[in-house]
Structure 1
Amino acid sequence: MTATRLLAAGAATLALAGCSDTCGNTEISRAASPDGRSEAVVFERDCGATTGSSAQVSVVDPGEIPEYVGNAFRSDGDAGHAGTKARSSSAVEAQWLSSGALVVRYASALRIFSKEPDVHGVRITYQPTEQR
C-alpha cells in the first residue's frame, strides 16, 4: 500500500470514529397501545456533562429499545433555565387514548425541539402542563 493510500485510510478511520454516538438513553416509562402493536417509551437522553440530559418519547415496536433520539418528541431543560422540576423524569408522560392515538404531556417550561404529529401511523397530540 502506498503512503498516500495509507494516509487516506487513516484519515477515513479517524473521521468515522468521530461519528460514533456517545449518548445514552435511560428508560423512564413504557406503555403498550391497547392493541399491543406499539409502545410509547419516555426516556432521558444524556450525551455527557457538556450537554445535559433531555426528555424524549419514541413510538416503537413491542420490546424495542430506543437507541438514538426520540422519533416523536424531543426536549430539554434549556440548560437549567427551565428549573430542576422540568428536567426531572416527571416532566414528560405519554398516554394512549386508543391504538392509533397517543397524547404526550410535558412541562411547559421545557425547550421543545421536535413534536411529530404522526409516527408509524400513530396520531400524536401534545399538551403542555404547569410544572409540578
Structure 2
Amino acid sequence: MMLRIALSSFVGECDNIEYASIPNPDESYRAVIFQRDCGATTGFNTQISILQFNDDLTDSAGNIFIIDGHPKDVAPTVSWASENTLIIHHVLDGSEYKSERVWGWFGSVTINYSTSGS
C-alpha cells in the first residue's frame, strides 16, 4: 500500500485545478498557474506550466515552477515582458521544488524571477 501511495504522484492519479491563465502578447503561449491535487496524503502546492496557447492543461506536474501552498495564498504574479520572456514575481529562496530559467527548444521562453516579491 505504501508503494502505491508513493507512486500515485507519478502515474497520473493527480488532478490539476487551474487558478489563472496568462497569455503572452502574441497569444502563442500561455502561463498557467494551478493547484496539483494528489489526494489526502499530500499538501497543497502551486505549480506553473508554460503551454502552447491552445493546449489544455493535462494531469502532468508543472513544467517551470513548483512551491508549497495553495495558489490563493502563495501564487506569484506572472507577467510577460515579451513574446518569449516570462516574469515570475517571486524571490527565489531555495524552498522551491522547481524554478526553471528556460522552457522549450525552438523559440524557447526565458523565465526571469523578480528581485522583489511584487
Instruction: Give yes or no for TM over 0.5.
Output: yes
Give 1 or 2 for the bigger CA radius of gyration.
1
1:96 and 1:119 map into 2 onto residues whose CA distance is: 14
User: Aligned-pair RMSD on alpha carbons?
Assistant: 2.7
In structure 1, how many angstroms separate the alpha carbons of the residues matched to 2:71 and 2:93?
12
Q: Percent identity?
A: 29
- Aligned counterpart in structure 2 of residue 106 of structure 1, from 79, 90, 103: 90
2:72 pairs, out of 76, 86, 89, with: 89
Alignment of 1:1-132 (within 5 A): 20-67=11-58, 68-77=60-69, 87-91=70-74, 92-106=76-90, 111-120=95-104, 121-127=108-114, 129=117
Deviations 1:9-36 (A, max 9, x none): xxxxxxxx96632111111111111111
Decide whether aligned partners of structure 1 residues 88 and 41 sit closer, same or farther in structure 2, where only a CA change above 3 A counts: closer
Q: What TM-score does the superposition give when structure 1 sets the normalisation length?
A: 0.68
The residue type paired with residue 24 of structure 2 is: S
| Structure 2 residue identity aligned to 1:43 | F
TM-score normalised over the length of structure 2: 0.76
- Compare the two structures and name the one with the higher helix fraction: 1
